[in-house]
Amino acid sequence: MNIELRHLRALAAIGDEGSITAAAAALHTAQPALSRTLNQLEDRVGTRLVERTTRSLELTAAGRRLWERAHRILQSVDDAIAEATAGPAPLRVGYAWSALGRHTVTLLRTWKDENPDAALVVRQVDNPELALRKGEVDIAFFRSSFPSPDTFEHVLLGYEDRMVAVAEDDSLNQTGPLSLSDLSRRRIALCSTAGTADLDLWPANERPESTVVVANVDEWLTAIATGEAIGLTSVATEYSHPHPGVSYTALPDVAPVEVYLTWPRNDRHPMTGQFVEHASYLLSKETTAAHRAPTGR
């Protein structure tokens, strides 16, 4: 098809920016030139990739599929060039909120001790699935849900107890362990990338009617600290994001949160398998140690 990198860069920018004008600015090129490049790509692929009107622009289904792959292809090219001049690319590990909570430092320290020549970079991203699809990270932590198994592989690492986060001066902060029924009349802060709060946790007749949608953990903490909402999360958030205006309380009667590692089926980093084995072994070892520890009862 004689597809060139400039064609893929054009589609990637258009999909990211949402308009020809913004994409042209991001690529430091003229708008007419970018439009011609897009037309060339569509002609060579043989299908429409972008639906354009005078007021809007949207990727077609085919365009979105190629947009995702374009990012990974371009990232692979950049990585190959970087490896040629600076050595192997680091393994980039992404997470939205809290990586592995209290296990995170142990994970990174033991990885460094056992793999001194294998560089690893940990990145907090608002949307781990999108970061994986675009090739911005190589592997990512997910809680309770993970992307399509047709495109990604995953392994279940373990479980985390659920918590409810409320403002420090909230009356719920004085009542000890809580239940879902205690929360049903409250506004719930929801974030699609967190994977730890779902209205389906409640019985249909007790489901909260009021919600506020947030984009990331900072917005979530702010909404809770100011009393705008309360939040459901896992114990890892309490460890990774202590906040002077937020109190975390146990939610013992709700199923724990599943923690997964997820990575692309194709174009995976050569150290992916080793990192998955390392994390799985660490969590199984920690769980075994916890079960053997005296309870004090």
Q: Where are the alpha helices (DSSP H) in 87-216?
A: 104-114, 128-133, 180-183
Superfamily (CATH) of domain 88-159+258-292: Periplasmic binding protein-like II (3.40.190.10)
Burial of 200 (0-12, 13-18, 19+ CB in 10 A): exposed
Is residue 77 within 8 Å of residue 8, measured between CB atoms? no
Residue 217: how many CB atoms within 10 A of its CB? 22
The DSSP secondary structure of 100-137, one letter per residue, reads TGGGHHHHHHHHHHH-TTS-EEEEE-S-HHHHHHTTS-
Is residue 294 within 8 Å of residue 182, measured between CB atoms? no
The candidate with the shortest Cα–Cα distance to 252, out of 188, 202, 180, 199, is 180
Pairing of strands 120-124, 188-190: unpaired
pTM reported for the whole predicted model: 0.73
What mean pLDDT comes out for the span 258-276? 90
Q: How many H-runs (helices) and E-runs (strands) does the chain carry?
A: 10, 12
The Cα diameter of the chain in Å comes to 74
Position 89 confidence tier, pLDDT thresholds 50, 70, 90: confident
Q: Answer whether residue 99 shows pLDDT above 50.
A: yes
CATH topology classification for 5-85: Arc Repressor Mutant, subunit A (1.10.10)
Question: May I ask the CATH class of domain 162-255?
Answer: alpha beta
Q: Answer whether residue 127 shows pLDDT above 60.
A: yes
Position 151 confidence tier, pLDDT thresholds 50, 70, 90: confident
Q: 199-204 long-range CB contacts below 8 Å, 24 or more apart?
A: 201/232, 201/254, 201/255
Place of tokens 């075994």: 288
Q: How far apart are the first and last CA of the chain?
A: 70
In the chain, ranges of CATH 3.40.190.10 domains: 88-159+258-292, 162-255
Place of tokens 């974030």: 191
19-51 tens-digit pLDDT: 899 999 999 999 999 999 999 999 999 999 999
